[in-house]
Amino acid sequence: MTISGNTVDSPKQTLIFSYGTLKRGFANHTLMQDLISHNDAVFIGNYITDLHLPLVRGPHGVPFLLNLPGTGRHRVRGELYSVSDAGLQRLDVLEGITLGHYERLPITVYPEIRDAGNGGRRVAVRAEAYYAHRSFAEDMWRRNGQEGFESFNQEVAKGYVRRDLRPKDRSFREQITLFCSSD
């Protein structure tokens, strides 16, 4: 499989950088597994962001990548997938694109392991990632004490509450607003 620009050699594929619960070993990876089993996604490898970006936890320990370049101390580690249009629609629903939870935007990432075929250089790849919606990103950053993580790992994920176990009396967007406004 050849990566070129923002797509993989087959038509109608989008490269998606996953940094949170869609990664292998985490709660929402079952969706990625389903997409893979139906040929709607392919795991490409472990990648890291080009820019230092904040990765924080929101309400219920949900991870959010903030589109605030240069404010984070880390390049964020994650996984790169090639996803079909049908798979992308399912990811957009999970990520609450139409509800203002996340927005899918461009990101530049590099493979974690240097490619010997390129003289040991890391080759930049343009992909897309689900960033926290811009309407609350700065408030989320402040609420997290302007401290983020390099990776959503098992230690960071300890506070994560699955969607089906969260309170149902408020929308997730309302929970985000409450989280950002609390001390």
Instruction: Catalogue the active-site residues.
Output: 95
Answer for the pair 47, 128: CB distance below 8 angstroms, yes or no.
no
* CA–CA distance, 75 with 52 (Å, rounded to integer): 4
Return the SS3 of 131: strand
- Three-state SS for 58-126 is CHHHCEEECCCCCCCCCEEEEEEEEEEHHHHHHHHHHCCHHHCCEEEEEEEEEECCCCHHHCCCCCCEE
Return the SS3 of 182: coil
Return the SS3 of 157: helix
